[in-house]
């Protein structure tokens, strides 16, 4: 069963506009969420995270929002740049349970057009 | 040099062969992980290790085994490869609970 879902396989936006990537989860015990970015032929790299005690975390052009009641998180990229074109994975885990069993979504391919 | 190095980067082999994928890291992290990536399924955890004497099964461990030879080395074995093990395999490391994982560049494995 996929406990973390990214329902949009792809997203295309114009350079300078906002990119919004969405992620839903089913396990209410998840309390730590991350976004990873992956370029072709490379491994995923950590982008930004948020714990369940917060509803927003910002790092430069990247902001992650968490809605615990809806079990939904989103990544906003403003403004989008062509170099942001990559696959973005959402991930979730339980910090309170020391097994590091992190669950990943299937990924969303973002294309930023010049 | 990469912090997390996977070898080989690509491998094509036949059904029934024994395969070993290797991972080494220079980050000094205690925790190491093996994932596989399949289209439409994201990354799924195969095995993880919190230190040299600690090995744990992940979500999809059947058909795989691992060995933690040293803090810096974690290998994944397919004792008798089958075609549905064709996938992209990633090794990752992390420092402690709650820290993001650092991934290698992956091994593309094809089993004919």
CA distance A70 to B1: 42
CA–CA separation, B55 vs A9, rounded Å? 33
pLDDT reading at B26 higher than 80:
yes
State the average pLDDT over residues A44-68.
96
Give A101→chain B minimum CA distance, Å: 7
Q: How many CB pairs under 8 A join A and B?
A: 59
Q: Measuring CA to CA, which residue among B66, B32, B60, B62 is closest to residue B46?
A: B60
Of the candidates A23, A20, A42, which has an alpha carbon nearest to the alpha carbon of residue A34?
A: A23
Tokens of B13: 């082999």
Tokens of A69: 């009641």
Give residue B2's pLDDT band: very low, low, confident or very high (50, 70, 90): low
Quote helix, strand, coil % in chain B, to nearest 5.
5, 55, 40
Residue A99 has a pLDDT of 60
Tell me whether residues B59 and A101 touch, CB distance under 8 A. Answer: yes
Best probe of the B interface among A44, A57, A87, A106, by most B CBs < 10 A, is A44
Q: For A68-105, what is each residue's pLDDT tens digit? A: 999 999 999 999 999 999 999 999 988 766 666 788 99
Give which of B69, B68, B70, B43 is closest to B58, Cα–Cα: B43
């Amino acid at each position: 069963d996929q406990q973390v879902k990214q329902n949009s396989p792809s997203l295309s936006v114009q350079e300078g506009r906002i990119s919004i990537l969405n992620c839903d989860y089913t396990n209410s015990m998840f309390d730590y969420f991350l976004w990873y970015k992956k370029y072709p032929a490379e491994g995923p790299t950590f982008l930004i995270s948020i714990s369940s005690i917060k509803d927003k975390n910002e790092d430069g052009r990247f902001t992650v929002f968490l809605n615990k009641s809806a079990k939904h998180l989103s990544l906003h990229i403003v403004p989008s740049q062509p170099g942001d074109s990559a696959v973005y994975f959402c991930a979730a885990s339980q910090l309170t349970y020391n097994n590091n069993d992190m669950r990943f979504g299937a990924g969303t391919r973002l294309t930023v057009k010049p | 040099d990469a912090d997390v190095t996977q070898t080989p980067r690509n491998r094509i082999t036949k059904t029934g062969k024994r395969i070993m994928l290797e991972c080494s890291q220079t980050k000094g992290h205690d925790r190491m992980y093996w994932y596989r990536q399949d289209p439409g399924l994201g990354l799924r955890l195969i095995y993880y290790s919190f230190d040299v004497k600690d090995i744990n099964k992940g979500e999809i461990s059947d058909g795989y085994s691992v060995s933690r030879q040293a803090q810096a080395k974690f290998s994944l074995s397919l004792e008798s490869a089958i075609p549905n093990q064709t996938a992209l395999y990633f090794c990752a490391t992390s420092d402690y609970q709650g820290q993001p994982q650092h991934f290698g560049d992956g091994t593309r494995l094809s089993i004919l």
